[in-house]
Every structure is written in structure tokens, then in C-alpha cells.
Amino acid sequence: MSLIRSRKHRFPLVRSSRLSAAVAGALLLPAMTAQAQTQTQIQTSTKALPEVQVNAPGETPYKAERSASRKYDQLLVDTPQTLTIIKRTLVDQQGATTLTEALRNSPGVGTFFLGENGSTSTGDTVYMRGFDASSAIFVDNVRDLGAISRDLFNLEQVEVLKGPAGSDNGRGSPTGSINLITKQPEMLDATTASATYGSWGQKRATVDWNKILDQDRGIALRLNLMKQDSGVPGRHEVSNARDGIAPSLAIGLNSPTRILLNYLHINQDNTPDGGIPTIGLPGYSSPDPARPYIGRAPRVDPTNYYGNANDYNKVNADMFTVRVEHDFSPTLTLQNTTRYGRTDQDYRLSSFLANGTTIGTGTRRRTASLLTPSAEDRTSWLLARGIVTRRDQVNEIMSNQTHLSGQWKTGTLEHALSGGVELTHEKQRALSFTASGSRPHANLYRPDPRFSEGDFSIATNGRNEGKTDTLSLYLMDTLKFDERWSLNAGLREDIYRTRFESNVPDRRSDLSDSGKMFNWKLAAIYKPTSYSSVYALYATSQQPPGSANFSLSSNRDSAANPNYAPQKTNTAELGTKWDLLDRKLLLTAAAYRTEIRNELEYDSVADRYFQNGRKVVQGVELGVTGELSRDISVTAGYTRMNSRVDIGKTATANGENTLAYAPQQSFTSWASWRLRQGVTLGGGARYSAGLVRGSDNNAMGTPRTTPAYWVVDAMVGYVINKQVDLQLNVTNLFNKDYVGAINRSGYRYLPGAARAVSLTGNFHF
């Protein structure tokens, strides 16, 4: 009988109580200090406080001075971790509209994975430093759930934190997190509208309206609207139609107490893309030894669509947020955020898997789906579309966060302390499906997406529900010893409970998992000058079973089995940052090493699974962001990453001891030059090394790697007057043909976006 060997360790309750006491004591200390200071001020002065004017000389169109999150209270140059901030001006110049497009500005971050076998990934499936970071996306520091392609119309900036974020955000990806900063009301009257029209059916319009309702009471309203109906460059039939509305109300913007009310609604009605067969790509050979001529066949047209024109991906997302902020003093602020979010996805895709022989056994058995009636006549070759890809899923989150941040002195030490408490309830409900009948085959080289499905039908045959409740306590402190030396430390404990219920024919399950996760980070910072820093960081993160998709499993070969311990990550990073040219240009460099432990591995001798697997990712990352002169702005980043599996089976199809879907090198850049007469020229180049796909013993003949590629984009802007300006964008200027993503088995890939031209009119009132 096969057994499961568990090495899960429970944290004693004393640790929780000590951390709770530490958080409470540390947070009360600045509050009492501030109260004493306030009483002294009242007794010694009856004068009104002077107006505080804030200047940010380091702010440029691309460069931010600091993070918008209150969890990072230092300037970027003094923040001891790789933190990339992608500002609104940059994505507007590039004509970017989605999170995936914005993330091109961070090297090594992208959607490289198409999906598992016949299933296609949907939404923002983001890989970062070799691991899936899709479950570590946050909106204003609150986790964002659901398979949705996030639009940028209501975002001010995107913040990409690389390395473990366990002490910052709790459970998540071993290699980082992404925080989306939303637009908020401001004390000004302004309206901006834009309209875009371009090739491949691109049509998009947005409105950003801000209005002061009461100057004296600091009340302002902001409304963002978006409507888009566009094709996908290089892909026939695939389309993205979405609209959004985001009203927000602020009360007390000019007072110590501020209330912000936010609502976001997004509706998407897209035609999904299942990719195209990899036949003819470099590295492809026949998947059937009896038919070697398949390996000599040419590529299919990258614009082909193999699904049904009636396939759909419908998503509705709603997000309600209430934030209350109160300044006890200029150096002490309390913030409370309450969020309810819900995302509904209804998805159907006619999928294929272009295998050449019968593969698998039992319920996983698949007969050959690539048929060749005549070896010479390729017009007769057919492809089966019989894989069921159907999803009906709802994600919900209810979260309340209380955060206190303050600064004060104890003797010669300066403290910048922040900490808080989070209560979060997350839930996912999904239906399961079964299919009957069969779809007609597609012609391999000339597929017709407008076909009748005949007797093929999909029916619901079960449901499942997973939910996670989490109580979190965290504390972060930056201690400045003098002008040169400082220490940054963070502690966080998450007490969690996950439950999973599944009810499908002949298989019912009711599983649960609970425990505590303690994460920490420690960094030492040395400042050679007032405008530079050198730092050394060590940090941890953890991800318990089922935390990525709210699904637990009783299978002993699944890391989601509740008998297993959380995946654990340790990262060491050594870096430096320099704010040059009067703080207009930020240069960064970092070397890191990440070790992921508790990976599940099978011991064939003992016929058991052990959590002794270990993976290592290490590399360097370089960056530059800011202004070279008053008229020239630039941002660029380069990363080189080496990964290996120290203990465990090989994860890649080509037998290399590396991680899949992790380009070894990548480079990104963008620059703009503001000329006279209102003309701006912009452009950039992106490079990605080839991808190594995941291992699949059943995949025969498919490419194990994809080629590296360069892509160049360009922009020309012209200011007509203060109210109107025009912008012409050309993406993939030289129409580079490349592989954007590949699936695990290698039978399908997603072509990179073809050349596209768009013209945008921006209107300011």
C-alpha cells in the first residue's frame, strides 16, 4: 500500500501571541507619542498649522519617487528590494491597454504559458522569475481573484515586486507580486477623453472626469469610463470586447480624516484563442513514427482559428472598496480598507490536441486527433476538436485591512514603522462538465470556424467549492542609525483555514487544511551618498496546499493534498540603486538567489511521495528609469536568469535541468524625445530568449524549445493645442513572426501579436 509521508510542522501558539503582542505594542507606541505631541502643541500654540507644500524633484514621466503603497515608506532609491513602478505616462505612450501589455516594461515578466494539454489559460497568467504569479495580483494591496484580463483604464500605475513577498502580502508566488494602483479623486476640475482606431479592428474610447463638489470640505468625484471592441493583431476570429465604469468619491481630501468610496465594474465578451498547431516549427517532428511525412509538413497560417465562431469567454467583475484614513499627526496615519469583489466567468472553447497516436490510459486515453487520409494531399489533412474546454466559475473576496504607519525617534534611532491586521474571506465556486457526441474535424490548413456542432453537447455533471479564511498580523520597521546605515525588517504571521468540497459522479470529497505561516525579511542598507544605496536582503515566503486555486486533492501525487506542508521559499538579494542627474534618473542593479523547498517528489523504491524537492533560481537584473535631459526620457531593463532543479525530476521537455517557461535572458526598453513644435518621437525594443516547455512524456514530436526574438515598437505624438493631441503607434514595427506562448505538451502555441497601427486622439478640458 502506498503511503504519504508528511513533514508538516505546526507553529506553536506562543509564536502567534508573541507576534500579536509585538504588533500591538509597536503600533501603540507611536500613537501614544503622537497624542502627547498633539497635547503639547495645543497647550503651547493657538496658531493654525502652516500649509504644507510637497515637492518631488525626482518625479519624471517614467520615474516614480516612491511606491504608492503605505507598506513601503522609503524612497525607491532606499527600498532594499527590486521594485519596478510602471507609470501611467509610459503605458499611454505605448498604447498599452491591458496588464499583460504593461508588464512588458519589466524584464522577464510575461504570459509565456498557453495551458495544460487541451486546456487554455485565460486571464492574466503571469510568469515571473520562472514561477506562476497569477495568484499574487493585488489591487491597492488587496488580493484580486478571478480569470480576467485586467484593463488599465482605471489604473494610475503598476508596481512589480520581485522576490518573496511573504512578509508583505502573505501567501503567494515564490518570486514576487504585482500591485495595481487605482485612480482616485483629486482637488481639481479636469476631463480627459481619448479615442483610438486602428488595424485589426481596434476601436477604443475612454473618459477620465474629475470634479470638485465642495472645495471647503474637500469633496471630489472622479469617473472613469471605457469601451473597447477590437480584434487581436495577427489572429482572425479572436476578439476582445469590454466595457468598464469606475466611479469614486472622496470626502475630506483637505482634512486629517479622509473617506474614499470606490466601485469598479468590468464586462468582457471575448472570443477566446486556443492557439494553432506547432506543425512546421523549428524542432517539430512527426508525432507518429508510422507517418514520418508529418514532420516535413509546412507551418499552418498563424492567422488560422481552430475553434468555433460561437465560442466565448464572458466575464463580469465588480469591486466595492471603502477606505478611511486619519492623520493623528504629520507622521502618524491610520488606514482602514474594506473590499468586496466578485468575478464571474462563463467560458467555452472548441479545443484540439494535435497528437499523432493514441496516448494515455483509462480516462486520460486520447486517440490520434491528427488525421492524414493522403500523405501527398495535405489539403485532406484533418484535426479533431473534441476536447471539452468549459468553465463556469465565480470568485469572491471579502477583506478588511487596518494599517498604521508612523515615524518617530527613540534616542539616536529614527523609526519608520508600519503594521496592521488583515481579515480575508475568499471563495471559489465552479461547475464541472461532461460532453457527448462529436464535433466535425477541422481542415488542418484551412479550418472553417463557422461549423455546426451536430450532436455534440456539453452538460453539467457536478460542482465544487473552495474557500480560505485568513487572519494576518504584520509589522515592518526601518531603523536609521545615522545618515549612512539603516536596517529594514518585516514580520508576518498568517493563520489560515481552507475547505474544499467536490460533488461529481462517483467522486465526492470534503477536505480541509489549516495552519500558521510565519514569514520574515531582513535587509541592511548602506548609503555611500545621499542619492545612492547598497543593500543586502534575505526574505521568505510560503504557499500552502490549495492556496493558488482553492482546490484540495486527496491524490498522493498532488501538492494540493492537505497532508503536505506549504511550499517554502528563501531569497537572498544584493543590490544597489543610484539617483542621478538631480534625482531624475534611477539606476538599479541586483543579484539574487531564490531557493524553493518542499517540492513534491516520488520515490519509486519506497513507492511514496516525499517533500524533498528543491529548485533554485538565481540571476541578475539591471534597470534604468528617468530623464537623460529635459526632453529625453528613457526606461530599460535587462535580466539574466539561471534555474535548476537541485532535487527532483527534470521539469523540461528537452531534458535540461532548468525550469519551464522561464526565458534565460530578456530585455525591454522605451525612450521618448520631445521635439519642438509639439512633436514627440518614441520607441523601444524588446528581447526574449527562447522558452523551454514543460515535460510531458506523452507528447511526441513537438518542439521542446521556442526561438528567441526581438520586437520593436514606435510612436509619434503631435500636440495640436492645449486641448487636443494626436498619437500614432506601431507595435511590432518589423512584423516579427514569433512564438508568444506554448502549452505544456507542445502541440499548440500562441503566435505573438502581428504588426498593428493605431491612431489615438486625446482631448483635455
The pLDDT value recorded for residue 340 is 98
Question: At 122, which amino acid appears?
Answer: T
Average of per-residue pLDDT across 172-198: 95
Is a pLDDT exceeding 50 seen at residue 40?
Answer: no
d(CA 159, CA 154): 15
CA pair distance 325, 332, nearest whole angstrom: 11
Rounded CA separation 384/444 (Å): 9
pLDDT of 63 strictly over 60? yes
Whether 520 shows a pLDDT value over 80: the answer reads: yes
Residue of 164, 200, 509, 140 lying closest to 337 (CA atoms):
140
pLDDT in tens, 721-736: 999 999 999 999 999 9
Residue-level pLDDT at 612:
86
The residue with greater pLDDT, 387 or 194, is 194
- pLDDT interval class at 290 (50, 70, 90): very high
Q: Please report, for residues 18, 170, 224, 746, the alpha-carbon distance to residue 15 in angstroms, rounded to integers and kept in the order given.
A: 5, 16, 45, 47
According to the model, what pLDDT value does residue 47 have? 35
Least Cα distance to 141 among 111, 101, 182 occurs for: 182
Residue 42 has pLDDT above 50, yes or no: no
Mean predicted confidence (pLDDT) in 395-408: 96
Res 52: pLDDT: 36
Residues shown for the chain: 765
Burial class (CB in 10 A: 0-12, 13-18, 19+), 504: middle
pLDDT band at 56 (very low <50, low <70, confident <90, very high): low
Confidence label for 608 from pLDDT (cuts 50, 70 and 90)? confident
Q: What is the mean pLDDT of residues 2-10?
A: 38
Q: What is the pLDDT of residue 625?
A: 97
H or E segment and range at residue 42: helix 13-44
Terminal Cα-to-Cα distance of the chain (whole angstroms): 74
Distance CA 418, CA 72 (A): 9
The DSSP bridge partners found for residue 63 are none
C-alpha triplet 8, 14, 18: angle, nearest 5° = 120
Q: Which set of grid coordinates corresponds to residue 283?
A: 524542432
* Mean local confidence (pLDDT), 381-390: 88
Q: What is the mean pLDDT of the chain?
A: 89
Tell me how far apart the alpha carbons of residues 507 and 322 are, in angstroms, rounded to a whole number. Answer: 42
Number of H helices, E strands in the chain: 4, 37
Residue with the larger pLDDT of the pair 662 and 326: 326
C-alpha cell at 40: 503639547
Does pLDDT of 301 surpass 80?
Answer: yes
Separation of alpha carbons 531 and 533, rounded Å:
7
Share of the chain above pLDDT 70, in %: 91
With cut-offs at 50, 70 and 90, classify the pLDDT of residue 719.
Answer: very high
Give SS3 for 166: helix
Under the banding of pLDDT at 50, 70 and 90, the label for residue 9 is very low
Nearest Cα residue to 346 out of 440, 460, 475, 235: 460
Residue 529, C-alpha cell as written in the block: 551618498
Mean pLDDT over 664-688 rounds to 96
Q: Give residue-wise pLDDT tens across range 64-121.
A: 999 999 899 899 999 999 999 999 999 999 999 999 999 999 999 988 888 776 678 7
Percent of the chain's residues with pLDDT above 90: 71
pLDDT of residue 366: 58
Neighbours of 246 (CB within 10 A): 22
Pairwise pLDDT comparison (404 vs 651), residue with the higher score: 404
Q: Which residue has the cell 468610496?
A: 261
pLDDT score of 364 more than 70: no
Of 740, 660, 704, nearest to 131 (Cα)?
Answer: 660
Tell whether the model's pLDDT for residue 36 goes beyond 90.
Answer: no
Task: Report the C-alpha gap between 72 and 102 in whole angstroms.
Answer: 22
Tens of pLDDT along 562-589? Answer: 999 999 999 999 999 999 999 999 999 9
- Cβ neighbors of 177 (< 8 A, separation 6 or more) are 133, 136, 137, 138, 161, 165, 168, 169
- Contact partners, residue 139, CB within 8 Å, separation at least 6: 179, 180, 182, 319
Tell me what pLDDT residue 3 has: 38
Strand partners, 180: 139, 158
Q: How many CB atoms lie within 10 A of CB 462?
A: 16
Cα-to-chain-centroid distance, residue 764: 31
Q: What is the pLDDT of residue 223?
A: 98
Q: Do residues 544 and 517 touch, judged by C-beta distance below 8 A?
A: yes
**Exposed e or buried b per residue across 285-320, where buried means at least 16 C-beta atoms within 10 angstroms of its C-beta:** ebbbeebeebeebeebebebbbbbeebbbebbbebe
pLDDT tops 60 at residue 16: no
This prediction's pTM = 0.90
| Whether pLDDT at 199 is above 60 | yes
Buried residues in 15-39 as b, exposed as e (16+ CB within 10 A): ebeebeeebeebbeebeebbeebee
Answer left, alpha or beta for residue 176, where phi above 0 means left and psi between -120 and 50 means alpha: left
* Predicted local distance difference test score (pLDDT) of residue 361: 54
Residue 37: pLDDT over 80: no
> 359 pLDDT exceeds 80?
no
Give residue 118's pLDDT: 67
Residue 243 pairs in a beta bridge with 227, 267
Mean pLDDT of 440-458: 92
Residue 382: pLDDT band by 50, 70, 90 thresholds?
very high
326 and 256 Cβ atoms separated by less than 8 Å: yes
Q: pLDDT value at position 57?
A: 57
CB 341 within 8 A of CB 396: yes
Flag whether pLDDT at 31 surpasses 70.
Answer: no
**Distance between CA atoms of 374 and 291, rounded to whole angstroms?**
11
The model's pLDDT over 467-486, given as tens digits with 9 standing for 90+, comes to 999 999 999 999 999 999 99
Q: CA distances (Å), 59 to each of 180, 529, 633, 673, in order?
A: 19, 20, 12, 17
Whose cell is 537572498? That residue is 572
Q: How confident is the model at residue 295 (pLDDT cuts 50, 70, 90)?
A: very high
Residue 126 has pLDDT above 50, yes or no: yes
Smallest CA-to-CA distance from 547 within 426, 724, 723, 414 is with 426
DSSP 98: B
Gap between the Cα atoms of 320 and 336, Å rounded: 14
Amino acid letter, 747: Y
Residue, of 252 and 38, whose pLDDT is higher: 252
Locate 75 and state its grid cell. Answer: 524612497
d(CA 299, CA 285): 12
d(C-alpha 135, C-alpha 560), whole Å: 15
Grid coordinates representing 357 are 497516436
Residue 235, pLDDT > 90, answer yes
- pLDDT at residue 508 in the model: 85
Say if residue 487's pLDDT is above 90: yes
Average confidence (pLDDT) over 14-31: 42
Among 159, 163, 192, 191, which Cα is nearest to 176's?
Answer: 163
Q: What is the dihedral of CA 368, 372, 378, 383, to 10 degrees?
A: -30
